[in-house]
Amino acid sequence: MNWITDIVIKTITNKNMMTIKKLLLLSFSILFLSISAQLRTFVYEIKYKSNPNKDSIITLKMNLDVMDKQSVFRTDKQKETDSIFSNTGRWTWFDTGFGNQLYISKNLKTKETFKNVQNARELYTIPIKENLQWKILPDKDKAGEFAVQKATTNYGGRNWTAWFAAEIPILDGPHVFSGLPGLIVKIEDEKKDYQFTLAEIKKSGKQLFQRGKGLVLTWAQFQKLAKDYYNDPFKEYKAGQSKLRVVDEHGNVLPIDYKDMTLSEQKQIRETNNPVELNYKISYP
């Protein structure tokens, strides 16, 4: 199958194939014996259609950081920001709006999963109540050095197909997906709007640096906040609660046209409205 890609282990040098195979087996044996006490990062390549009606595909990489039965799924930038905030209490960068943010945290011991959303300095947490009912199939294949097996489930109004590696004893995977008897190496929905593929495994420091829990919301409350933001995305700035400055390419300060900016932001929201959770998709005017 042409989707399977080799998984890169940075500590392995390219001497010859036999040596590499031996080193791979040794590395993974050592790695997973101590996995619960050390932070390990599983890097996934994500390809998704922000607009299902267009052919454009967005590609990015996100990290699944796992340590002591806790995991966080986030971008490099979010991980860096979480680290700085944990040490200083200051946000040096933040997401804005209520669009398709993929930041997920899990407690693998209690089997709790949370979607984390940030709008400027405000944090929100949505407990994921939808249980993943996996169906493990007999189909098997290879992903790099790993033997993988097929499984299917439904989440967010989408049907998903996953491939997991039983030899990697991490019952986790990208985004909200977990609970299979091995790490999820690849998962995609049947429409191929979303594809998550394991690209790399690496050590990643000694601390997880999780965000604290934000204001806990139901999906209905989240949808209301998202609609309110859509209707008036610059409300806080217009009220003077936050500062906004617009500059051109030469650094010259420009007058702020909130009406034009609002129309532009609303258009962007409508054209990128293809969330993982299709069953909670918001209908914008």
On whether both 189 and 95 belong to a single domain, the answer is: yes
User: How many CB atoms lie under 10 A from the CB of residue 46?
Assistant: 18
On whether both 26 and 98 belong to a single domain, the answer is: yes
Answer yes or no: is 222 within a domain.
no
Q: What is the CATH number of the domain that holds 87?
A: 2.50.20
Answer yes or no: is 151 within a domain.
yes
Answer yes or no: is 20 within a domain.
yes
What is the structure's pLDDT at 5? 40
User: How many CB atoms lie under 10 A from the CB of residue 188?
Assistant: 19
Range of the structural domain that residue 127 is part of:
8-203
Tens of pLDDT, residues 258-285: 899 999 999 999 999 999 999 999 999 8
Determine the average pLDDT of the residues in 127-155.
96
Give this prediction's pTM: 0.83
What is the structure's pLDDT at 25? 45
On whether both 114 and 255 belong to a single domain, the answer is: no
265 or 95: whose pLDDT is higher? 265
On whether both 134 and 60 belong to a single domain, the answer is: yes
On whether both 260 and 164 belong to a single domain, the answer is: no
Q: Among residues 165, 187, 203, which one ends one of the domains?
A: 203
Residue 31 has pLDDT above 60, yes or no: no
Residue 6 has pLDDT above 50, yes or no: no
What is the structure's pLDDT at 221? 97
Residue 222 has pLDDT above 90, yes or no: yes
Please list, in sequence order, all residues whose beta carbon lies within 8 angstroms of the beta carbon of residue 179, skipping any fewer than 6 positions away: 111, 132, 134, 171
On whether both 141 and 190 belong to a single domain, the answer is: yes
Q: Among residues 168, 186, 203, which one ends one of the domains?
A: 203
Please list, in sequence order, all residues whose beta carbon lies within 8 angstroms of the beta carbon of residue 95, skipping any fewer than 6 positions away: 78, 101, 103, 117, 118, 119
On whether both 264 and 136 belong to a single domain, the answer is: no
On whether both 193 and 92 belong to a single domain, the answer is: yes
**β-bridge pairing 194-203 and 40-48:** antiparallel
Where are any strands of DSSP class E within 7-157?
A: 8-9, 40-48, 58-67, 70-74, 104-107, 112-119, 122-127, 135-143, 146-155
Determine the average pLDDT of the residues in 3-24.
43
Confidence of residue 21 (pLDDT cuts 50, 70, 90): very low
On whether both 166 and 252 belong to a single domain, the answer is: no
What is the structure's pLDDT at 213? 81
Confidence of residue 245 (pLDDT cuts 50, 70, 90): low
Answer yes or no: is 155 within a domain.
yes
- Determine what percent of the chain is predicted with pLDDT higher than 90: 56
Lowest mean pLDDT segment, chosen from 71-80, 87-96, 106-115, 213-222? 87-96
Determine the average pLDDT of the residues in 12-31.
45
What is the structure's pLDDT at 20? 42
Determine the average pLDDT of the residues in 62-83.
90
Structural domains counted in the chain: 2
What is the structure's pLDDT at 203? 80
The structure tokens listed for 245 are 């400055």
Q: Residue 258 and residue 264: Cα distance in Å, rounded?
A: 10
On whether both 180 and 244 belong to a single domain, the answer is: no
Determine the average pLDDT of the residues in 229-256.
76
Q: Residue 103 and residue 76: Cα distance in Å, rounded?
A: 11
On whether both 246 and 111 belong to a single domain, the answer is: no
Confidence of residue 242 (pLDDT cuts 50, 70, 90): low
Q: Residue 49 and residue 5: Cα distance in Å, rounded?
A: 21
On whether both 186 and 249 belong to a single domain, the answer is: no
Q: Among residues 188, 203, 218, which one ends one of the domains?
A: 203
Residue 150 has pLDDT above 80, yes or no: yes
Q: Residue 116 and residue 122: Cα distance in Å, rounded?
A: 11
